[in-house]
Structure 1
Amino acid sequence: MGNLFRVNMAYNNLGGRDVDDLDFLCSLTNSTRLDVLAIGYNHFRGSIPQCISNLSMVLRIFALDGNEISGTLPNGIGNLINLEVLTATRNNFTGVIPTEIGYLGKLGNLYLHVNEFSGQIPHSIGNLSMLTELILRNNNLEGTIPSSLSSCQNLLVLDLSKNRLSGTIPPEIMGISSLSNYVDLSYNNLTGGLPMEVGNWKNLGILDLENNRISGEIPSSLGDCIMLEQLHLKINHFEGSIPPALSSLKGLEVLDLSNNSMSGEIPDFLEKLNLTTLGLEFNDFEGALPTGGVFTNASATFITGNKNLCGGLPEFRLPRCNSKEPRREKTKHSTRVVTICSISGLIGLLLVVMGTYTFHSRRDPQTVVSEFSRDGLLKVSYQALLKATNGFSSDYLIGSGSFGSVFRGVLDLNQATVAVKVINLRRYGAVKSFIAECEALRKVRHRNLVKIITACSGTDYQGNDFKALVYEYMMNGSLNGWLHPINEMNGEGEHAPRRLQLLQRVNIAIDVACALDYIHCNCDTPIVHCDLKPSNVLLDDEMTACVGDFGLVRFLPEATKELVAELSSSIGIKGSLGYIAPEYGTGGEVSIQGDVYSYGILVLEMFTGKRPTDEIFTDGLNLHSFAKAALPEHVYEVVDPFLMKEFHDDELGGSSYVRASRQNNKLRKIQGWLASIIRVGVVCSSEMPDDRMSAAEAVVALKVIQKELLQVITHAAEDDVTYISTS
């Protein structure tokens, strides 16, 4: 079968009788179009034949995991230069990882864990610049961690745990700023100190260094890892006190410093963190034990083996402190923290119950898995989505984001074209984002919000968890694609027409403001979007704008708005660089004013054509100050060049706006409109939240301009002047 392009025989009972079970792979060398080869989770024995070096040069996925394969991984694996996924986990592979693996320049996922590989991690892995996940845990690997890994600047996951690695942690790998899911180097023989460069991992969710021989003090730069949710330093040789810099880890949930040589008093700031587990056992901490926050839960706080501690709640059975100066009074503060933690727990429990009730996580992929069908919404299964998107083909990919990829698809049931957002469950926090988006979208209905059709939660054909959201398809893509056409294509793989006229931009700005006004002021529970930007604004076939991607939303119930806002700020603000309100960066609480700031930046980007991250914005200059300085006389100097073509003659004979304006002497009025629009963006993006206008006020200001523009166009048409269509 020379035209065979996919072989998937995973999850069967094949093999297990002969040592040459895998010789059949050699017969696939004639299938020169082979794209996927998956034989995982069977009973295949024996070694991988050398003939795999002659498999299809277009092979992208090679899955061998969950068998009883022994022997070495052949050097010929390096010939499969188009591999994107190589998984050989849970087998009996021995020998070294071949250096030829460095030839796989397109490899994104390398899974070799739970085997018996030995020797050193090859330095050639540093050649895999496209690598996003490297998991080599549970092997017998020795030697040092290669500093060449620093070249893998797209890594999200690095897991080298449960090996025999030695030496120091190379500071070079701290330069992989993309690491965001987790880094696990636990259960090795690593020595030396934790490099100060660890602060470069600002987006990291989990850092696990448990059970090594790492020594020295915990570097204060660890406080720069503001997205950390778990920090495991148990069973090492750390010494000194807990650095005050860790107080900036507002999203930290698990902190384990047990079995080290740490000393000093336990700092008060640990009470204020959103910790669910705190391990301080078998150190040399002394002084009074705090009594608030996590310290109110003896089953979540572990302090055994610190003989010089005193005080605390009775559950800890510590002696009373002898000091005449008791630990400073914190009763009122502790009560407040306990109240906040209780509300946080109730809210978390409510979300979990709702998530469990609404989305059962383990089902047969053939079955219908959307509980939203009880509300009259469309039923859909994993199988239906797989077919609708042609197996989630890259040809159907229309976008990707932090927590998933979006595919265009056509459902068999009603032949409707839909957008399917497949959640990347390997990304840390993806499940929380999925639940948040479901909860937000089932509460809202508005013409300027992306309409959700249904959701799917179950398992795929390999038994992996699968979650997806199905939206109404927006034919004209995202606003980002219209403003910056070089970076975005339409669903057919061709550049879409990318010219937004003045009136279209005003209409879009009004649509987005209307959406914000609705979620801020007209929902039963006020909602803060937290990630408003052009790529999250989608346009339908009539160029109506709809706000989407509610994966980072925060709810602000009126009855507990103050407490919930404080809780929201304590778990870390996520958003997009350039659009995040400045007060969020200094620990300010989540608010609707933060959304308004993002909206102001979006408006300025729409009418200047410049991203907030444009390279011209250096030395204190930003998009806000750039636009503000042009008001009102120099507004033409900052306006998007595409718009300027509407206001001046060109090779096509000029535009309607210019001709109409010449007839009516309204060139100054055009400048006035632009200045008014830019002013809306500037005011909305003011540094101080109280200086910003509301979304409703922005709607009113922009509708005045919209009305005047429509009058000019109508007047031009009545005078039989050709004008540019606004459709």
Structure 2
Amino acid sequence: MSFSCLTTILLLLGSVLASVKDGRDEIDRLALLEFKAQIADPTGVLSSWNDSSHFCDWYGVTCGHKHRRVTILDLGSKKLSGVVSPHIGNMSFLRGVNLENNSFHAKIPPHFGRLLRLQKLSLNNNSFSGQIPSNLSYCSNLLVLDLGVNMLQGNLPTELSSLSKLQELVLQVNSLMGNIPPSIGNLSSLQQFGIKWNNFSGTIPETLGQLRHLKILSLATNKFVGTIPISIFNISALTLIDVAKNQLEGGLLGDLGFTLPNIEIISVWQNHLTGPIPESISNASNLLLIQIKENNFTGKVPSFSKISGLNRFNIRVNNLGGEQSTDLDFLCSLTNSTKLERLGIGENAFRGLIPNCISNLSITRFGLEYNHISGTLPYGIGSLINLEALQIRGNNISGTIPFEIGNLNKLKLLDLGHNELSGQIPESFGNLRMLIQLNLDSNNLWGSIPSSLKNCENLLLLDLSTNNLSGYIPPEIMGLSSLSIYLNLSQNSLTGSLPEEVGKLQNLGELRLDGNRLSQQIPSSIGSCTSMERLYVQDNFFEGPLPSIMSSMRGLQVLNVSNNQLSGQIPKFLESLNLTNLSLSYNDFEGALPTGGVFKSAISTSVVGNKKLCGGLPDFQLSKCYYKESKRTRISGIAKILISTVSALVGVACILSLLYFFWFRHNKNASASSSSEDGFLHVSYHNLLKATGGFSSTNLLGMGNFGSVYRGLLDQTQSVVAIKILDLTCDGASKSFIAECEVLRRIRHRNLVKVLTACSGFDFNGNDFKALVYEFMSNGSLDEWLHPTASQYMERNKLSLLERVNIAIDVACALDYLHHHYEMPIVHCDLKPSNVLLDDEMNGHVGDFGLARFLPEATHKLLVDQSSSVGVKGSFGYVAPEYGVGSAVSTEGDVYSFGVLVLEMFTGKRPIDDMFENGLDLHRFTKAALADRVEKAIDPILLQEIKELEKRRTIAPEDKNNSWCSIKDCLVLIIEVGITCSFEYSKERMDIYDALTKLQ
């Protein structure tokens, strides 16, 4: 063969190979484009995926050096959504796929099983559903399989047991079920096995003990029964064992300290484990966390002197300890653990004294509650300078409270209730400026309440009840406006009057003063406590009538004023409050008993012991009301009426002359100040007085922090409006008025409450008068629909799923406009259901801008100056956590409030619901339900609506299931929006625009 022929053949062969190579390249390029076509990319990270460059240069794509084939696809945390195209299985050279922390949904394509070179597949934190594809077992080179935090269902495929190279199998937070296949023990290279937060059941297979390289075993929050296999305690490589929240029995077996030399975390809490804590655990010198609470462990707690790195130690809710005075000696062994932060031994059977050695601990949280501990509080307790929470409630501690506790200036929670403490409350408590909760109830404390507590300006809860405290209630305590959960001073020997400062407790939910010796009249300032839901003042010596201003307490649900010396007629305004329980017993009330509202029920209302009462409904068994007058009385009455009439006519003539003079002068000022040249309606004090029927309580719509809102009919337009009258005696009311005017005069949006005009002038007595006039919203507030009173519940339809979605979108639209579409960002600062108003067509409108701020504040100094003193407090439960530690106002704060509002709309639960305690809140509740079954958190009214909808449909059963799945998917997406918006850390929250996009 000639040289030229050989050359020609080689050239042809090279051309063929090049075309084959180009064809393989084309397979990868087309697969990537098909992948892109199936997903949404709101941030444009895939904008480089086009023909202007080779696909190996596209974002997130890595190719091999020897060939131009895709080896890694890394698009984690890029806000992508959609489905994963089956064409991904065509990229046969893929070794790694990372799509975690996105919003992919639908099933995981079984085409992943074609990727025989695949070593890492990470799809966690998406919304994948369906079953785990069994043909993933074909990926024989797989090292990491992470499918956690999705919506996967079905069993764990036994085929996966053939993946002999697999090192990490992570499936937590799904809805997987069934048993763990015993063949899982064949995964001889496995180092991490995580399946917590699923619905696995049955026993834990002994074959797990074959996984000699296993470091992390996480089986928590499933339904496992039986015992923990002893074979697990022989896996010497284990650093973490977590089998918490199952139904396991038996004990902790094996020689822990020797067979598990590398163990760092033992978490077996909330099971039914019994027996003692093994002595050998003290040899596990690498332990960082021991979490064995909520079991049935018994006996003496061993020493931990060899464990220096322990960070958390929680053995709460067991039966540890006994009758020995040395029960708490193990605490001294923990002083070697210099990194120990949290120590919980509450709700056991410990006896004896608290040893003085605790002064050498460096802990931040210390819980010894509900044991049988006796003796006194050691003075060394004042050396725990890092302590943030101290709970010794429910023991037999006696003696005085050490003055040195005042040194714990980081303390946020102090609970010494239900002990036998005596002496006075130390003045040094005033040094605890970070204190949020203080419980000293049910002791033998005496003396006066120290006024130094006024320095605890972050206090949300104060309970000093059931002691022997005496003297007056310090006005400074009533001036603690931070108190919002409850203030309990009941069952003491306090005397004097209730201070006028009680009106500063505007955010307080519950006030208990019962069982004291308080006297004089209940101050009218209590009407400012508009958030109060429960008021107990029974068993005192209060006298006179109930203040009429209490009609402003629209949130009041429980009122108990029994066993006092109150008199006069029972006020009619009690009918209009949302009371569910009312006790007026054993006073001196007289006259006719009202018949509306709470008075319709003799079960909810008690009036016994008021001998001068009459009338009412038959269930109250009161005598009829009679109004008889003698002839002489009638003649005398007529004479008095004639004299009064003549005197009144003369007086009226004089007063009208004076009023005309004042009206002419002041109305001129009012008109001048309330008028404008921009087409706004001109109104005066006289106009608004007439429009509301003299500010009649029958026209009262609600109360806010700085005033009252009335329904009114304006003469000028003959239209119904909402009129907000500012209470200028409240601190910050005038500044709130300026702030609201400043915002409302600048903004216009269909989902913001429209302001018609403002009035700033004087009333007929020459006092300052300020008011805002709004467009009237006929369907009231969102709060009234989500949490209706008994009467509203009967009168109104329930909010449907579609209506709730639309209202959420309306609110998001309003916030998006405020944050992004005005010349400078505006932060509302007080978003909550009561500030979302609904028009005739149930469209949502955001209102109440009394706390609003412009950003950046430096560009609008006037508003900064006038609003800074008002303070951005918002409303408890809706205010962003960072505001509580002094962070600046931001749009992320509004997003947090919006997230809470969305969760409240679809769960039907307020963020301050009684069920939320011990660290559980609305955010964590819904997040846990989302990981389990979303319907656990959904408002039962919505679930009923969906159920009735399915009944009306004449479709096949399988189609009904599909329908429910689609509705469930919708609910999941909505709840996810609420959760993402209400993250604790502001930087983790999504922008309101993204929330709006998802909801739309």
TM-score (norm 2): 0.37
Counterpart for residue 351 of structure 1: none
Amino acid at match of 1:265: Q
2:821 aligned residue (479, 504, 509) = 509
Deviation of 1:74 (Å): 0.6
CA distance in 1, matches of 2:626, 2:807: 61
1:30 matched to 2:324? The reply is no
- Partner of 1:615, secondary structure, is helix
Any unmatched runs of 5+ in structure 2?
1-306, 630-696, 702-785, 789-797, 871-1000
Displacement of 1:140 in angstroms is 1.3
Structure 2 residue 351 is matched with structure 1 residue 45? yes
* 1:440–1:553 Cα contact (<8 Å) kept: no
Change in Cα spacing, 1:221 to 1:510, as seen in structure 2 (3 Å) is: closer
CA distance in 1, matches of 2:423, 2:845: 56
Runs of 4+ in 1 over 6 A off after TM superposition: 436-442, 445-451, 504-507, 510-513
- Paired residue for 1:207? 511
Per the alignment, residue 72 of structure 1 pairs with 376
Corresponding residue for 2:546?
A: 242
Q: By how many angstroms is 1:32 displaced?
A: 1.4
**Structure 1 residues 177, 29: closer, same or farther in 2, change over 3 A?**
same
Residue 94 of structure 1: aligned partner: 398
**1:323 aligned to which of 605, 614, 627:** 627
Q: Is the 8 A contact 2:810 2:845 kept in 1?
A: no
Counterparts of 1:301 and 1:78, CA distance in 2: 49
**Corresponding residue number in structure 1 for 2:847:** 595
Q: Matches of residues 181-200 of structure 1 in structure 2 within 5 Å?
A: 181-200=485-504
The corresponding residue for 2:557 is 253
SS in structure 2 of the partner of residue 310 of structure 1 = strand
Q: Is the partner of 1:81 in helix, strand or coil?
A: coil
Conserved 8 A contact 1:505-1:606: no
Question: How far 1:244 sits from its partner (Å)?
Answer: 1.1
How far 1:320 sits from its partner (Å)?
Answer: 1.5
- Do the aligned residues in 1 keep the contact of 2:838 with 2:845 (CA within 8 Å)? no
Q: How does 1:151-550 map to 2 (within 5 A)?
A: 151-323=455-627, 443=805, 508-509=820-821, 533=827
**For residue 186 of structure 1, what is the amino acid of its counterpart?**
S
Tell me how far 1:118 sits from its aligned partner: 1.2
Q: CA deviation at 1:17?
A: 3.5
Alpha carbons 2:837, 2:846 under 8 Å: kept: no
Change (3 A) 1:446 1:129: closer
Give how far 1:63 is off: 0.7
For residue 451 of structure 2, the aligned residue among 136, 139, 147 is: 147
Deviations 1:314-350 (A, max 9, x none): 221211211269xxxxxxxxxx99xx9xxxxxxxxxx
1:7 maps to 313
Aligned equivalent of 1:615 = 865
Distance 1:440 1:169 in 2: 51
1:534/1:441 Cα in 2 relative to 1: closer, same or farther (>3 Å)? farther
Q: 1:292 to 1:53 in 2, by over 3 A?
A: same
Give secondary structure in 2 for the equivalent of 1:214.
strand
Whether the aligned pair in 2 keeps the contact of 1:175 and 1:200 (CA below 8 Å) is yes
Give how far 1:448 is off: 9.3
Q: CA deviation at 1:228?
A: 1.2
Amino acid at match of 1:76: G
Q: Read off the aligned partner of 2:333 and give its amino acid letter.
A: S
Query: Offset at 1:439?
Result: 8.2
CA shift at 1:296, angstroms?
A: 1.2
Q: Percent identity?
A: 50
Task: Output the CA distance in 2 between the equivalents of 1:99 and 1:32.
Answer: 26
1:419-467 Cα distance to aligned partner (Å, 9 max, x none): xxxxxxxxxxxx989xx9998997459889889xxxxxxxxxxxxxxxx
Q: Among residues 106, 110, 118, which one is paired with 2:410 in the alignment?
A: 106
Give the residue type in structure 2 aligned to 1:217. Answer: Q
Corresponding position of 2:773: none
- With over 3 angstroms needed to count, the CA separation of the structure-2 counterparts of 1:505 and 1:323, relative to structure 1, is closer
Q: 1:511 offset after TM fit, Å?
A: 14
Deviation at 1:595, TM superposition (A): 3.1
Q: Distance in 1 between matches of 2:869 and 2:418?
A: 50
**Structure 2 residue aligned with 1:539:** none
Change in 2 beyond 3 A, CA 1:130/1:612:
farther
The 2-side partners of 1:122 and 1:151 are apart by 13
How far, CA to CA, are the matches of 1:440 and 1:28 in structure 2?
A: 57
Q: Distance in 1 between matches of 2:356 and 2:577?
A: 55
Cα distance change, pair 162–245 in 1 and its aligned pair in 2 (3 A) = same
Is the alpha carbon distance of 1:221 and 1:93 closer, same or farther for their aligned partners in structure 2, counting shifts above 3 Å? same
Give per-residue Cα distances to partners, 1:175-212, cap 9 Å, x unaligned.
21101111011111111111112111111111111111
Unaligned runs of 5+ in 1: 326-335, 341-430, 452-478, 480-503, 514-531, 537-548, 562-590, 621-727
1:278 positional shift: 1.2
- Per the TM alignment, residue 533 of structure 1 is displaced from its structure 2 partner at its CA by 3.4
Task: Please state if 1:55 is matched with 2:361.
Answer: yes
Helix, strand or coil at the partner of 2:343? strand
- 1:154-184 Cα offsets, whole Å, 9 max, x none, are 1000101111111111112122110111101
CA root-mean-square deviation = 3.9
The structure-2 alpha-carbon separation of the partners of 1:269 and 1:10, relative to structure 1 and needing over 3 Å to count, comes to same
Kept in 1: contact 2:838–2:844 (CA 8 A): no
Q: How many Å apart are 1:31 and its aligned residue?
A: 1.4
Distance (Å, rounded) in 2 between the aligned partners of 1:192 and 1:316: 34
Contact 1:96–1:120 (CA<8 Å) still a contact in 2? yes
Q: Which has the greater radius of gyration?
A: 2
Kept in 2, the 8 Å contact 1:505–1:607? The answer is: no
Contact 1:171 1:197 (8 Å CA) reproduced: yes
Deviation, 1:287, is 0.9
Tell me the distance in 1 between the aligned counterparts of 2:422 and 2:819.
62
Find the aligned partners of 1:168 and 1:22 in 2 and give their Cα distance. 41
Preserved contact between residue 239 and residue 263 of structure 1 (Cα < 8 Å):
yes
Q: Deviations for 1:202-243, whole angstroms, at most 9, x for unmatched residues?
A: 111111111111111111111121211111110111111111
The secondary structure found in structure 1 opposite 2:549 is: helix
Match of 1:18 in 2: 324
